[in-house]
Structure 1
Amino acid sequence: MNTRRAKTKEPVKREAPTHIATAPNQVWTWDITWLNAMIKGSFFKLYLIVDMFSRMIVAYEVWETENAEYSKRLIRKASLSQGIAANDKPLVLHSDNGSPMKAATFLATLEKLGVQSSFSRPRVSNDNPYSESLFKTMKYRPIYPNKGFKDLNEAREWVAE
């Protein structure tokens, strides 16, 4: 650890992602949000993929944990439902820097599917606005259960509505 401020390295400046979608299935964004459970300190994780052009929800799943295996399942499900194949036009999947998004097994799955990965800049929360705004809209709806979901099935049913 460096204790001298004068010897610290200059932070690396990174450009903001500039993906432009002119049609559906060119750029998808995805993220994971936490849904409250009734037990204090417990959460369910909503995995969500959104098409940047149409703002359509391409695929979603609710699980109890964040896991690269669940991420792989989600991207496979999304690719199948949208007819994405490795030899099609390139698809960009943009996400933040979470561990499920950067897991080696998940990135290998993207490569097999012919999907290019893109990541937000570190510690910049507004580089993934499409997913984040959808999460806020969902959680601020009057019917959102602020006291939490009883169990995983209840969370899945609510998200499916």
Structure 2
Amino acid sequence: MAMEAWYMDSSEEDQRKPHRLTPNQPLSLGHLKTLGVFHWKLNADVYETDPELEQLRRDHGYSFMDIISIHKDTLPNYEEKLKMFFEEHLHLDDEVRYILDGQAYFDIRDKEERWIRIAMTKGDLITLPAGIYHRFTLDETVQHTHMELSLI
């Protein structure tokens, strides 16, 4: 499945729901690039030896790698961590996330302060530019999500 992005509604409903506007207002990868957000689709089954991932890491100087498993059985203080991930924040460096398994959403603010939801699945690698407000949540398939790989 290809990565999807759309403008979000302002509902206070469960953060794991899609929150699409009616009618849906999808965004292209090209539009995300204008915001400094880049995407690659890789083979997550071979991430440890993937030459495409290695080339990407070399090209962009990504040297740090940390795997976090976001699952209620493996992540201590699971509910608190999910709430923390969903708090809007920014970083002084680019943020790189690679979904090794499962499905999740990254939300980013555009230049007009509108929230954009980016749906990611296994094999999606995304870079968010330094200084962009964002947040993260699992989607409604939460029982299957076991993810993510940080490259910076």
TM range (shorter): under 0.3
Q: Which has the higher helix share?
A: 1
The alignment's TM-score, normalised by the length of structure 1, stands at: 0.24
Structure with the larger RCO, 1 or 2 (CA within 8 Å, 6+ apart)? 2
The alignment's TM-score, normalised by the length of structure 2, stands at: 0.25
Give the structure with higher Rg (CA): 1
Q: Which has the higher strand share?
A: 2
